[in-house]
């Protein structure tokens, strides 16, 4: 019946920056966010505006937001809506009115932290991480009381200065995997800027940890080391923040290969045994299936073509690196780039097809050692010589560069670790995915379409012109026996800021809206008066793919 899907209502978000939120519907009300951490409450049946909360983040804070002033959504718990503001505040709102119940500063406002991720709530505790690793911060996750905002615990993801002692045994263990004086170069990084997942049966909270500060390990930790818990999945006890186990996807990472990408919990039959697994396709290009009870690696294979490693050694759980990829002596063109083979855009799992649907990026980047590195407080410090973010000079080279940037929807079989099917898109930086029991996969695209595919074979069944690139994932919900599908449209984010108009002019301008569909509806969007215009203005330094 998907061919009968039509626009039921839309709501203008009144912004011209990236929109990345996953909306949430509770008791007939949709809660969503736009850029600048602004929260909207809408009637989920009609789109009627109920209230808006603007945290009034100071616009100069955008200088610490490497990848646009985006926000990925709210959490809702017992009559309260929780949002992390870009400037590091955690705010609790009355769900009925939008009135502020409490707010707390989760970070030192003097430091270049940001928040773009959605909070999570478990049993009366609200959890929030942060971003800003390139600018010089030490990553952590905080847990707060939902009624008062009181800090209950904090788990740091990288060790501090050993001379000051360690917060716990996990930090003492992690410090043995570092060298040099990383704490003097911005704190080490490792920010928890997106992925979290909770298993109520095991009572484990899983967090994804980001990249190091600087990216370049030669500078950050001279002499090497795994640099725990960078680029790791860490399991914690949600009541106390106690460390339980970890798995590191990229030991000693040096390419901005975060493990903050979407985490899916599922049960899979592997070798005749049903296993409780955790699945992730992080930036580094490998798809991981991990036993979520203890962190044992069950399988790993590359979901894209890559050149920095040959494979993952199943005996050690470590990638087998190509030595030249660490760019110690010569620059190296690395695939995937700092944007990753998969970025923050959520992937989804369909138990009926057994497939995971991944928004894949194809994008290479040069990395090289800088002749001289000087740490700059509260500025972007990648530790590369700048060629990683440079664009070619000649028109012919730019045309070739743009043609090499690609994106696709990949259906991945996690049991057999192989591709089931894929669909090539016109460009990269396409939206997150939603899969349903009706054998469908929904995805927005960078060229302004909202599309439904068959989940078992990828056949394109339906699309809707959204008038702007879509990067957010869709949701589905049911009210009064009617099923709705909704997605937030609005082109922006890391790729769009640096490269968007250069290689994907038809993604712009930003026309930020909530678009909600149901069977039999036939509303139309007002026309947009614009023509694509390619503008080339090469940046001096890449934007990180970390927010």
DSSP string, 16-75: SS------EEETTEEEEE-GGG-EEEEETTT--EEEEE-----GGGGGG-TT-S-----E
Give me the pLDDT at residue 535, please: 39
Give me the pLDDT at residue 503, please: 58
Measured between alpha carbons, how far is residue 152 from residues 105, 234, 488 in Å?
14, 19, 33
Of 87, 129, 89, 91, give the one whose Cα is nearest residue 112: 87
Answer whether 320's CB lies under 8 Å from 347's CB.
no
H-helix or E-strand spanning residue 219? helix 217-220
Strand partners, 320: 311
Judge residue 1's burial from the number of C-beta atoms within 10 Å of its C-beta, 0-12 exposed, 13-18 middle, 19 or more buried: exposed
pLDDT digits (tens, 9 = 90+) for 361-372: 998 999 999 988
Question: Which residues contact residue 522 at a Cβ distance below 8 angstroms, ignoring those fewer than 6 apart?
Answer: 6, 7
User: Rounded CA gap, 362 and 341, in Å?
Assistant: 6
pLDDT digits (tens, 9 = 90+) for 146-159: 999 999 999 999 99
Sign of CA dihedral 38, 39, 45, 49: negative
Tokens of 181: 């004086």
Give me the pLDDT at residue 547, please: 40
- Mean pLDDT value across residues 339-358: 98
H-helix or E-strand spanning residue 333? strand 332-334
User: Rounded CA gap, 82 and 101, in Å?
Assistant: 10
3-state helix, strand, coil split of the chain in percent (to 5) is 10, 35, 50
Q: 401: pLDDT confidence band, cut at 50, 70 and 90? A: low
Give me the pLDDT at residue 277, please: 98
- Mean pLDDT value across residues 376-400: 72
Give me the pLDDT at residue 77, please: 98
Q: 546: pLDDT confidence band, cut at 50, 70 and 90? A: very low
The three-state DSSP-derived secondary structure of 342-377 is CCCCCCEEECCCCEEEEEEEECCEEECCCCCCCCCC
Q: What is the CA radius of gyration of the chain?
A: 22
In this predicted structure, the answer to whether residue 480 has a pLDDT above a threshold of 60 is: yes
Give me the pLDDT at residue 164, please: 97
Within a 13 Å sphere around the CA of 321, how many CA atoms are in the beta-carbon half? 15
Q: 417: pLDDT confidence band, cut at 50, 70 and 90? A: very high
In this predicted structure, the answer to whether residue 322 has a pLDDT above a threshold of 60 is: yes
Give me the pLDDT at residue 397, please: 63
Answer whether 408's CB lies under 8 Å from 361's CB.
no
Answer whether 412's CB lies under 8 Å from 287's CB.
yes
User: Rounded CA gap, 268 and 467, in Å?
Assistant: 39
Cα angle 216, 322, 356 (rounded to 5 degrees) comes to 90
pLDDT digits (tens, 9 = 90+) for 173-213: 999 999 999 999 989 999 999 999 999 999 999 999 999 99
- Mean pLDDT value across residues 400-407: 78
pLDDT digits (tens, 9 = 90+) for 494-503: 988 877 666 5
In this predicted structure, the answer to whether residue 378 has a pLDDT above a threshold of 90 is: no
pLDDT digits (tens, 9 = 90+) for 440-474: 999 999 999 999 999 999 999 999 999 999 999 99
Cα angle 203, 208, 210 (rounded to 5 degrees) comes to 155
Q: 385: pLDDT confidence band, cut at 50, 70 and 90? A: confident
Answer whether 339's CB lies under 8 Å from 364's CB.
no
In this predicted structure, the answer to whether residue 355 has a pLDDT above a threshold of 80 is: yes
In this predicted structure, the answer to whether residue 170 has a pLDDT above a threshold of 70 is: yes
pLDDT digits (tens, 9 = 90+) for 21-73: 999 999 999 999 999 999 999 999 999 999 999 999 999 999 999 999 999 99
Of 106, 105, 15, give the one whose Cα is nearest residue 52: 15
Tokens 């990180």 label which residue? 544
pLDDT digits (tens, 9 = 90+) for 267-312: 999 999 999 999 999 999 999 999 999 999 999 999 999 999 999 9
Tokens of 335: 């695939």
Of 172, 317, 120, give the one whose Cα is nearest residue 231: 317
Give me the pLDDT at residue 504, please: 64
Of 164, 158, 165, 156, give the one whose Cα is nearest residue 179: 158
Instruction: List the catalytic residues.
Output: 256
User: Rounded CA gap, 9 and 249, in Å?
Assistant: 42
Of 186, 142, 182, give the one whose Cα is nearest residue 161: 182
Tokens of 140: 């952590």
User: Rounded CA gap, 514 and 488, in Å?
Assistant: 5
Question: Which residues contact residue 98 at a Cβ distance below 8 angstroms, ignoring those fewer than 6 apart?
Answer: 39, 41, 50, 51, 52, 53, 81
Give me the pLDDT at residue 386, please: 64
Give me the pLDDT at residue 510, please: 87
φ, ψ of residue 151 in degrees (nearest 5): -70, 125
In this predicted structure, the answer to whether residue 545 has a pLDDT above a threshold of 50 is: no
Sign of CA dihedral 415, 419, 421, 425: positive
What is the overall mean pLDDT for the chain?
93
pLDDT digits (tens, 9 = 90+) for 62-116: 999 999 999 999 999 999 999 999 999 999 999 999 999 999 999 999 999 999 9
Please give the model's pTM, rounded to 2 decimal places.
0.95
Tokens 């955790």 label which residue? 278
pLDDT digits (tens, 9 = 90+) for 204-233: 999 999 999 999 999 999 999 999 999 999
H-helix or E-strand spanning residue 461? strand 460-465
- Mean pLDDT value across residues 334-357: 97
């Amino acid at each position: 019946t998907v061919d009968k899907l039509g626009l039921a209502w839309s709501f203008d978000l009144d912004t011209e920056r990236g929109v990345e939120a996953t909306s949430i519907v509770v008791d007939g009300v949709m809660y969503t966010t736009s850029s600048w951490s602004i929260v909207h409450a809408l009637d989920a049946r009609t789109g009627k505006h109920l209230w808006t909360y603007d945290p009034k983040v100071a616009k100069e804070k955008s200088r610490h937001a490497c990848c646009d002033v985006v926000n990925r959504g709210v959490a809702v718990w017992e009559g309260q809506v929780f949002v992390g503001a870009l400037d590091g505040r955690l705010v609790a709102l009355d769900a009925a009115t939008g009135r502020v119940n409490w707010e707390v500063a989760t970070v030192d406002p003097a430091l270049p932290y940001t928040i773009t991720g959605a909070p999570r709530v478990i049993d009366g505790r609200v959890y929030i991480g942060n971003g800003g690793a390139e600018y010089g911060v030490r990553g952590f996750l905080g847990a707060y009381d939902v009624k008062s905002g009181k800090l209950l615990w904090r788990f740091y993801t990288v060790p501090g200065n050993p001379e000051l002692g360690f917060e716990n045994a996990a930090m003492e263990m992690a410090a043995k995997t570092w060298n040099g004086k990383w704490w003097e170069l911005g704190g080490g990084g490792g920010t928890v800027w997106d992925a979290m997942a909770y298993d109520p049966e095991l009572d484990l909270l899983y967090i994804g940890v980001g990249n190091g500060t600087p990216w370049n390990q030669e500078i950050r930790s001279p002499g090497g080391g795994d640099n725990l818990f960078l680029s790791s999945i860490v399991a914690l006890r949600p009541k106390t923040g106690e460390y339980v186990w970890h798995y590191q996807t990229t030991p000693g990472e040096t390419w901005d290969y975060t493990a903050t990408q979407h985490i899916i919990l599922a049960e899979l039959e592997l070798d005749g045994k049903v296993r409780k697994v955790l699945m992730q396709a992080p930036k580094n290009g490998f798809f991981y299936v991990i036993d979520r009870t203890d962190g044992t690696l069950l399988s790993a294979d590359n979901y894209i073509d890559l050149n920095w490693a040959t494979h993952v050694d199943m005996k050690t759980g470590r990638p087998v690196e190509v030595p030249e990829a660490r760019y110690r002596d010569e620059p190296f063109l690395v695939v995937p780039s700092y944007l990753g083979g998969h970025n923050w855009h959520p992937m989804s799992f369909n138990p009926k097809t057994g497939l995971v649907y991944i928004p894949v990026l194809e994008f290479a980047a040069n990395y090289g050692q800088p002749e001289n590195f000087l740490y700059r407080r509260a500025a972007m410090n990648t530790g590369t010589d700048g060629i990683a973010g440079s664009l070619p000079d000649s028109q012919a080279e730019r045309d070739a560069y743009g043609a090499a940037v690609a994106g696709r929807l990949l259906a991945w079989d996690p049991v057999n670790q192989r591709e089931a099917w894929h669909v090539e898109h016109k460009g990269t930086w396409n939206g997150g995915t939603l899969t349903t029991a009706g054998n469908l996969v929904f995805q927005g695209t960078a060229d302004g379409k909202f599309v439904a595919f068959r989940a078992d074979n990828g056949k394109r069944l339906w699309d809707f012109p959204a008038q702007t690139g879509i990067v957010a994932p869709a949701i589905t919900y049911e009210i009064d026996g009617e099923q709705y599908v909704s997605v937030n449209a609005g082109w922006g984010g890391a790729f769009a800021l640096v490269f968007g108009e250069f290689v994907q002019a038809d993604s712009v301008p930003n026309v930020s809206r909530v678009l909600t569909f149901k069977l039999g509806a036939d509303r139309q969007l007002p026309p947009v008066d614009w023509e694509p215009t390619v503008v080339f203005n090469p940046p001096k330094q890449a934007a990180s793919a970390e927010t």
